[in-house]
């Protein structure tokens, strides 16, 4: 049985495997938030800084702080962002190093499912947001295998190969996310789904991108014998038939949820 934990330290592979799809979801997600200008943002699990970069480009923030538990990701975010409004630090989402009510908007993109104790992280997000502020997250819709790795994972299963669920799968449907928000005292919840078109120049582009060392599913592929690998490649080529222009295209879906915190009332402590 091969475990499916990602290797967050491999930032280049992350960018190739997931970065572009994270960007594709974050753009409509930010439109959906309708965030006010001049807000102070916290990007929880900022990774290489994709959400922060888009917030700076589209949301006119006063400031944005990105935190992440993986030093390599924080280093990459800090190096790519030359904007005096942005700064990045290594920190755990479950113990945010900020005072109560420090931010107007606290966002986490594709992160909640990887955190060992998501309720604790949400309570922390609730603690550091100001009254009247917003806590918002999105995760891939893992249960129906609608992440960008979905076709690969389904093809492995079709060959009888065991593929463990990705971390946080049971908490990724919208009702489960809403329940988690409720437990953390996050009220006035709104939710939506965001569809993105995942596309690759051709089948080989798909294969290389989806089987980088970063990808959790690559560990499963690496454990296969040569015949099984050939069967997997063939099964995928059939499922993901190239379009007339050679492109490989399919859909992925993210579940997004936001809570506007009450302007007054008891605060939740971490
Ligand atoms: C799939 S990446 C998403 C990165 C980025 N938000 C994006 O949209 O591209 C998940 C990130 O969560 C971070 N992470 C996982 N557990 C964490 C924790 N307990 N505290 C802070 N960051 C964490 C990982 O280091 C990784 O950078």
Half-sphere exposure of 64 (CA within 13 A, CB side): 28
Which atom of ligand 1 lies closest to the CA of 25? 8
Residue to substitute in 47, 121, 138 for testing ligand 1 pocket (most ligand atoms within 8 angstroms of CB): 47
Residues 41-60: tens digit of each pLDDT: 999 999 999 999 999 999 99
Residues 213-245: tens digit of each pLDDT: 667 677 788 888 889 888 988 888 888 876 667
CA separation for the pair 142, 53 (Å, rounded):
25
Report the nearest-CA residue for atom 1 of ligand 1.
Answer: 110
CA distances from 48 to 41, 89, 100 (A): 16, 12, 26
Is pLDDT at 266 greater than 60 in this prediction?
no
Q: From ligand 1's centre to the CA of 138, what distance in Å?
A: 12
- Residue list, ligand 1 pocket, CB within 6 Å: 8, 18-19, 22, 45-47, 50-51, 68-70, 73, 92-94, 109-111, 114-115
75, 61 in Cβ contact below 8 A?
Answer: no
Of 62, 53, 61, 88, which Cα lies nearest the Cα of 74? 88
Please state the rounded mean pLDDT for residues 129-135: 97
Q: From ligand 1's centre to the CA of 111, what distance in Å?
A: 5
154, 145 in Cβ contact below 8 A?
Answer: yes
User: What's the mean pLDDT when you consider all of the chain?
Assistant: 89
Q: Which residue has the higher pLDDT, 268 or 20?
A: 20
Query: Model confidence at 268, in pLDDT bands (50, 70, 90)?
Result: very low
CATH number of 11-141+165-199+253-260: 3.40.50.150
91, 67 in Cβ contact below 8 A?
Answer: yes
Which atom of ligand 1 lies closest to the CA of 121? 19
Q: Please state the pTM of the whole predicted model.
A: 0.90
CA separation for the pair 42, 108 (Å, rounded):
8
Please state the rounded mean pLDDT for residues 150-178: 91
Please state the rounded mean pLDDT for residues 105-125: 96
Which atom of ligand 1 lies closest to the CA of 94? 19
Query: Model confidence at 8, in pLDDT bands (50, 70, 90)?
Result: low
Residue 116: predicted pLDDT: 94
Residue 205: predicted pLDDT: 87
Of 263, 257, 262, 31, which Cα lies nearest the Cα of 136? 257
Among residues of the chain, what percentage have pLDDT more than 90?
Answer: 63
Is pLDDT at 265 greater than 70 in this prediction?
no
- Residue carrying the six token digits 């970063």: 214
């Amino acid at each position: 049985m091969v475990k499916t934990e990602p290797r967050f330290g491999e930032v280049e592979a992350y960018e190739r495997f997931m970065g572009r799809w994270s960007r594709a979801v974050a753009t409509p997600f930010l439109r959906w938030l309708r965030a006010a200008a001049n807000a102070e943002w916290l990007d929880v699990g900022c990774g290489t800084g994709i959400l922060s970069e888009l917030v700076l480009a589209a949301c006119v923030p006063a400031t944005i702080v990105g935190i992440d538990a993986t030093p390599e990701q924080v280093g990459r975010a800090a190096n790519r962002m030359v904007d005096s409004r942005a700064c990045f630090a290594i920190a755990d989402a479950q113990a945010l190093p900020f005072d109560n009510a420090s931010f107007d908007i606290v966002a986490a993109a594709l992160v909640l499912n990887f955190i060992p104790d998501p309720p604790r992280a949400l309570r922390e997000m609730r603690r550091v947001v100001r009254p009247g502020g917003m806590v918002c997250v999105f995760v891939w819709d893992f249960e129906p295998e609608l992440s960008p790795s979905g076709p690969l994972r389904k093809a492995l299963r079709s060959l009888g190969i065991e593929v463990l669920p990705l971390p946080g799968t049971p908490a990724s449907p919208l009702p489960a996310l809403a329940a988690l928000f409720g437990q953390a005292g996050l009220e006035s919840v709104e939710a939506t789904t965001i569809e993105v078109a995942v596309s690759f120049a051709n089948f080989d582009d798909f294969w290389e991108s989806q089987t980088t060392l970063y990808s959790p599913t690559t560990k499963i592929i690496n454990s296969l014998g040569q015949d099984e690998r050939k069967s997997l490649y063939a099964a995928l080529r059939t499922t993901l038939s190239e379009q007339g222009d050679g492109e490989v295209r399919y859909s992925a879906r993210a579940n997004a949820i936001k809570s506007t915190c009450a302007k007054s009332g008891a605060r939740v402590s971490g």
